[in-house]
Amino acid sequence: MRILFLTCPGRTHLYSFVPLAWALQTAGHQVRVASQLDATNLTAADIAHTGLPAVVIGDELDTSAMLAEAQQKAAAEGKASDAPPPPPPAPAGPRRRPAQREYAAEDPYAELDGLARQHFPFFNSPSVIDGAVRYARRWRPDLVIWDTMTMAYAGPVAAQAVGAAHARFVFGADALGQLRIAAQHQGDPLRAALEPILDQYGLAYNEHTLTGHWSIFPMPTWTWTPPGMDYLWMRPVPYNGPSVVPDWVLDEQERKRVCITLGVTFRELDAGASTSDLLEAVADLDAEVVVTLGRDPAELPTLPANVRAVDFVPLAALLPSCSAVVHHGGYGTFATALEHGVPQLVVPGKFGNDRFWGPYAYLPHMEDEGAAVYVSDHDQLTPDVLHDSLQRVLKDPAFGRNAARMGALSAALPTPNDSVPAIERLTAHYRS
């Protein structure tokens, strides 16, 4: 059968699909990966380098330039204002880590409406939706698998345009499903936004439009999920992208090794914790610290003697030698650390509610099981807080044992290869 994956222009999102796409391809199915392109965050070559055929849809984006322009505009507006600057906020103590069930609990409809009016239109411009539909009508896929975080308009419309089965791909947390259930008595702004789009193509909204015929969920089963949803659970298998493994990764270690990374997409969009705070926190740590912050080491501040700064190193090669990893909570880093049984110290990024689209769904149970530590939100991170958290994890061998145990539980789930027969059956059942 023919299977079309739809993703946004971000390598992290693309990489989350790759193990399943390859499992389907090696099972004999034809696979294509369609995306809008972004000059900084995703090119056609990025898709092709995964070994999967690329399909370009929509007008090209330049997200980094758009963000820089927005920041400059905000700064200019601030200078033009005659109002005195606001007083500095009073010091606050550490915040309690929110639970996933608290996401937009006061007004889920407002959060959902914001996604419907701003978030999804950004990733699903008319050119993207039309490109997805035109390609689907030419290639005639049997199944469309779409990224629930970003492609909630183009995915369902393209699938319905050709009578294909379609499935949401949910990695991190099913935050969209959570919001729609919580706001169901107030209305559904996503449906209101989608109905006129569907009408343009002679299509009608139905019960599966926004939920997919089913949802593929490559997360461990302790991940928090909203009530009443059904998932095809699948083992999270990390893919770190095309890479070369440096020799030093396998050097004999005299001290424990720690990895600090802000991921791929988040480091490019400057969404993580302060570099200077991270480096200060590990300066006197009795460990080798590998910092993968995605920039030329010459651009970094003066490095402590125990720090090795690299632009990129595949985490699947590095983390097996690590005693801990500090990261922003992204899916790729989480999945790689889980697979290799590495204790995780999480500092969620600064993009609004993104923390509810990932780390807050899996972190609480791992923390309760002694396999992870919620360090702080990014705006409350201090060198002392991170230093103390690292010392705690490195000095207590139970963290390593617990992380290995959690990794073994996740590994017991069906692999992408194991999941192919179920996907074949579901596609045959739902395809028009």
What are the extents of the domains in the chain?
2-61+98-235+414-430, 247-411
* CB of 297 closer than 8 Å to CB of 310: yes
Sheet with 257-261: list strands edge to edge: 307-310, 288-292, 257-261, 324-327, 344-346, 372-374
Paired sense of beta strands 288-292 and 2-7, if any: unpaired
What digits encode the pLDDT tens for the residues 273-319? Answer: 667 777 888 998 999 999 886 666 666 668 889 999 888 899 999 99
What digits encode the pLDDT tens for the residues 14-68? Answer: 999 999 999 999 999 999 999 999 988 999 999 999 999 999 999 998 877 776 6
The greatest distance separating any two alpha carbons of the chain, rounded to the nearest whole angstrom, comes to: 66
CATH fold for the domain made of 247-411: Rossmann fold (3.40.50)
Q: 2-61+98-235+414-430, superfamily in CATH? A: Glycogen Phosphorylase B; (3.40.50.2000)
Model's pTM, two decimal places?
0.91
Beta bridge partner(s), residue 344: 325, 372
**Residue 432 tokens, joined:** 């028009």
Q: What is the mean pLDDT of residues 114-124?
A: 95
Q: What is the pLDDT of residue 271?
A: 45
**247-411 has the same fold as 2-61+98-235+414-430:** yes
* CB of 379 closer than 8 Å to CB of 299: no
d(CA 208, CA 389): 44
d(CA 180, CA 172): 17
- Give the pLDDT band of residue 210 (cuts 50, 70, 90): very high
